[in-house]
Amino acid sequence: MEKEIKDEIGITNDKYNLIPLAFSRELVRGGKPQLFLDIDISALKAMMHNAEENWEFIKENDLPDDSPLKKHLHAPLEATQEMFSYEGFMAFKIIQAYMNRTDAPFPIVDY
């Protein structure tokens, strides 16, 4: 994961704490894994622009005007459930709960 983060986003492992909370592979996106970061979106875009494998990302200007993603680029937390697979949406909700220090979106059961 550290290698992928460095190659694709341009962040070295001394700049973040990796905390695995949820993992999903969005099959509707070709099986690409989801990574949630607590980084300002403008700073993240700047880092990704200089990353070794920045070719993997769609550039904002390349998105068609009618793309459902376009309106959420600057406000990803406003994306609706329909923008995700079920698995991806649950991972997103778990991350939001962690970041907001609230309860997980489902009851924790001790077996």
Q: Which residue has the higher pLDDT, 81 or 111?
A: 81
CB 24 within 8 A of CB 88: yes
Q: How far does CA 49 lie from the centroid of its chain?
A: 16
Quote the CA–CA distance of 89 and 68 in Å, as a whole number: 16
pLDDT of residue 107: 66
Question: Helix H segments across the chain?
Answer: 2-9, 41-49, 86-100
pLDDT of residue 72: 79
Count Cα neighbours of 7 within 13 Å in the Cβ-side half-sphere.
Answer: 7
Q: Which residue has the higher pLDDT, 97 or 22?
A: 97
Q: What is the arithmetic mean of pLDDT over 86-108?
A: 75
Q: Is the pLDDT score of 52 beyond 60?
A: yes
Question: What pTM value is reported for the model?
Answer: 0.51
